[in-house]
Amino acid sequence: MNKKHRAFLKWAGGKYGLSDVIAKMLPKGERLIEPFVGAGSIFLNSDYPHYLLNDINQDLINLYRILQSRPDEFINDARAMFSSENNQAEVYYQLRKEFNASSDPYFRSLVFLYMNRHGYNGLCRYNKSGGYNVPFGKYKRPYFPEDELNYFAEKAQKATFVCESYRDTFARASAGDVIYCDPPYVPLSKTASFTSYAGNGFGLDEQADLANAAEEVIQHPDVCVLISNHDTIWTRKIYEHASKLKSIQVARTISQKGHNRKKVAELLALYK
């Protein structure tokens, strides 16, 4: 068994727990493309010669690029922010305010990591004006992920990071590429409002378009796509042209009370 590697960021919907199952379903190839890289658990727990990693979140991609090019400097500066003095609501809100006012990628990257570990439940959320608005998390002693940062920086030497639409990332695919998509998931309950769901910029039209993009890109020779999502009647419908569907039971990770974390079914759709 190879050692599993955790992402250095807390991330809603992170794929650490599923990385073994996903890695087994991913075909071999020259390059893994991730149009929705998030915290990067599949990148960290797979073995391809090259990676193309995209996310629509510019702060996330800037952080990854800085960690890739200036790891020692960044990790030293980030470590200094994880002190008991900084683990206080007033410091957190002041840094959040400075983050929202700043356009400096290095400063924003440091504070993004700080807020990810000190903010409420590891959430990442912005208001309509683009301001980061996650409240303070009240953790006794936030963990500084030094080993995880070092491993990510080392593995990032095989990666190219981009910030663009998933369609633009799909357009970069060529022979020998494997694409893994982990989009924002469709709502599970029938009462979940489709209109409010679309507020995160990834509604039902985008879900269907992503399935179309997968069907189109595999017309190229030697390209395949794996998509993960909730297992619902609707996702089974939009992925009906996949070569293979696999359903698995997964424990939900974002919940304040551990005993309330129910298992839900997730669907893996392979196009090849």
Residues of each annotated binding site for S-adenosyl-L-methionine: 11, 15, 55, 182
Q: What is the pLDDT of residue 257?
A: 52
Q: List, for the chain, all residue ranges whose pLDDT scores fall below the cut of 70.
A: 1, 189-200, 252-261
Q: What is the pLDDT of residue 198?
A: 37
Same domain, 126 and 206: no
Question: Which CATH number do you get for residue 73?
Answer: 1.10.1020.10
Residues of each annotated binding site: 11, 15, 55, 182
| Residue type for position 150 | N
Whether 143 maps to a domain, the answer reads: yes
Whether 188 maps to a domain, the answer reads: yes
Same domain, 52 and 69: no
* CA-to-CA dists, residue 183 to 42, 81, 95, angstroms: 13, 31, 30
230-268 pLDDT per residue, tens: 999 999 999 999 999 999 988 765 545 555 567 889 999
Q: Contacts for 29-32 with beta carbons within 8 Å, 24 or more apart?
A: 29/176, 29/177, 29/178, 29/222, 29/224, 30/176, 30/177, 31/176, 31/177, 31/178, 32/177, 32/178, 32/179, 32/180
Kindly state the DSSP code that residue 119 receives in the 8-state scheme: B
Same domain, 84 and 126: yes
Structural domain containing residue 218: 19-56+164-271
Whether 88 maps to a domain, the answer reads: yes
142-172 pLDDT per residue, tens: 999 999 999 999 999 999 999 999 999 999 9
